[in-house]
């Protein structure tokens, strides 16, 4: 279809969702929900462009899944996200759906497209079968409809409708507000919306996450700097020198972060916290690790264990090993025995052996969170 852009909204915080993973990042087999929905709709019809509206902190990671898609940062409301997406829409029509509707049947998409010229916005709806009470009064249930997405709109009219400070929860409401025509088609109970999480067992097209494990390796090296506090694994070390770095130089935490990012295929620490950015100047590396741990949870992973080797001629690491293990376990939200610390010298060889710096090697193992009950 040469004149329709597909927009998939998945920038929300999932604040009502009962899982720590955001709903758009639930793993369906081996892919996140947002990509599952994208692939499903893409198989139904040929769209001129497909735009994914994601959370600004997740866009770079999203791009690693499919670089053929267009990614746009969402706003703090659905309407702001829509406005951002519409800046990239040049086609006559735009079809917009929420990622929360995962199992939209093909017939709904076909009917939206078939009827696109009948009104400014084509909307799937469901009839209400139960008795309806509104403000303690019974009203005619035939007058009540449940609106679904996707909705297909005339792009120019939708842009006009959203050019207001008034907030709308869907496109048809905004278009109706400016007096334009809406055409309703039959929706589907199969297009059940995922909101709280207890709907998951009723959404039949979603298969459970794969049971794969993922391993990442992290290596970090820092040279010494005189008259600076040494911090290693989140623990202050008694030493006349610390680490030369843009941040506090915690070489152990930096290594762990790279191992975690490697396991999820998210690049490296520099992509998240570039040393060219002054907001990270002298930052406490524990804060960086907390951010990464939350990010990992948000996008659907569980950390299984972490193993690291500290290569240092000086200072002596053994007196601090248990303290470092305890601190890292808390930061990683793991039982202490699932964080292993090893320490060795370089037998006076190389830059470590010459007491010029410290190197840390880390391995992290992760798996998908299992949302399937």
Task: For residue range 3-17, list pLDDT tens digits in order.
Answer: 999 999 999 998 888
Radius of gyration for the chain, computed over Cα atoms and rounded to the nearest angstrom? 26
Per-residue pLDDT band at 373 (split at 50, 70, 90): low
What contacts 294, CB < 8 A, 6 or more positions away? none
- Residue 101 DSSP one-character state: B
Give the pLDDT confidence score for residue 98 in this predicted structure. Answer: 95
Mode of pairing for the β-strands spanning 182-186 and 121-127 = parallel
What contacts 196, CB < 8 A, 6 or more positions away? 16, 17, 18
> 327 near 234, Cβ under 8 Å?
yes
For 294, list phi and psi in degrees, rounded to 5.
-65, -40
Please name which of 245, 248, 253, 255 lies closest in space to residue 230, comparing C-alpha atoms. 248
Please name which of 91, 87, 107, 133 lies closest in space to residue 45, comparing C-alpha atoms. 107
Task: For residue range 126-156, list pLDDT tens digits in order.
Answer: 998 888 898 889 999 888 899 999 999 999 9
Q: Is 345 helix (H, G, I), strand (E, B) or coil?
A: coil
Classify residue 312 as exposed, middle or buried by CB count within 10 Å of its CB (0-12, 13-18, 19+): buried
What pTM was computed for the model? 0.93
Is residue 315 reached through a cis peptide bond, with omega within 30 degrees of 0 on the bond before it? yes
In this prediction, residues 336-345 reach a mean pLDDT of 97
């Amino acid at each position: 279809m040469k004149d329709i852009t597909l927009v998939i909204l998945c920038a929300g915080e999932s604040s009502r969702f009962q899982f720590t993973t955001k709903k758009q990042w639930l793993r369906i087999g081996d892919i996140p929900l947002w990509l599952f929905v994208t692939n499903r709709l893409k198989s139904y019809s040929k769209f001129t462009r497909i735009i994914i509206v994601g959370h600004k902190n997740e866009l770079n990671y999203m791009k690693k899944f499919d670089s053929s898609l267009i990614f746009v940062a969402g706003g703090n409301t659905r309407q702001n996200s829509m406005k951002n997406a519409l800046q990239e829409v040049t086609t006559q029509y735009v079809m917009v759906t929420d990622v929360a509707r995962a199992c939209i049947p093909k017939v709904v998409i076909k009917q939206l497209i078939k009827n696109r010229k009948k009104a400014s916005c084509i909307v799937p709806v469901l009839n209400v079968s139960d008795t309806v009470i509104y403000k303690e009064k019974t009203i005619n249930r035939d007058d009540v409809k449940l609106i679904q997405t996707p909705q297909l709109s005339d792009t120019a009219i939708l842009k006009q409708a959203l050019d207001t400070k008034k907030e709308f929860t869907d496109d048809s409401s905004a278009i109706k507000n400016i007096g334009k025509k809406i055409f309703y088609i039959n929706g589907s109970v199969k297009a059940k919306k995922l909101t709280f999480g207890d709907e998951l067992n009723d959404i039949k097209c979603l298969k459970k996450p794969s049971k794969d494990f993922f391993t990442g390796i992290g290596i970090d090296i820092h040279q010494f700097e005189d008259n600076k506090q040494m911090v290693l694994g989140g623990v202050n070390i008694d030493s006349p020198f610390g680490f030369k770095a843009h941040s506090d130089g915690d070489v152990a935490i930096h290594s762990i972060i790279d191992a975690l990012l490697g396991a999820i295929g998210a690049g490296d620490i520099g992509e998240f916290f570039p040393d060219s950015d002054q907001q990270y100047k002298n930052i406490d590396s524990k804060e960086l690790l907390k951010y990464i741990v939350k990010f990992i949870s948000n996008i659907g992973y569980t950390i299984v264990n972490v193993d690291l080797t500290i290569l240092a001629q000086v200072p002596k690491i053994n007196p601090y090993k248990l303290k470092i293990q305890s601190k890292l376990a808390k930061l990683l939200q793991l039982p202490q025995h699932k964080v292993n610390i090893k320490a060795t010298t370089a037998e006076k060889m190389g830059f470590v052996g010459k007491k010029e710096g410290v190197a840390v090697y880390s391995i992290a193992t992760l798996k998908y969170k299992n949302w399937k009950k």
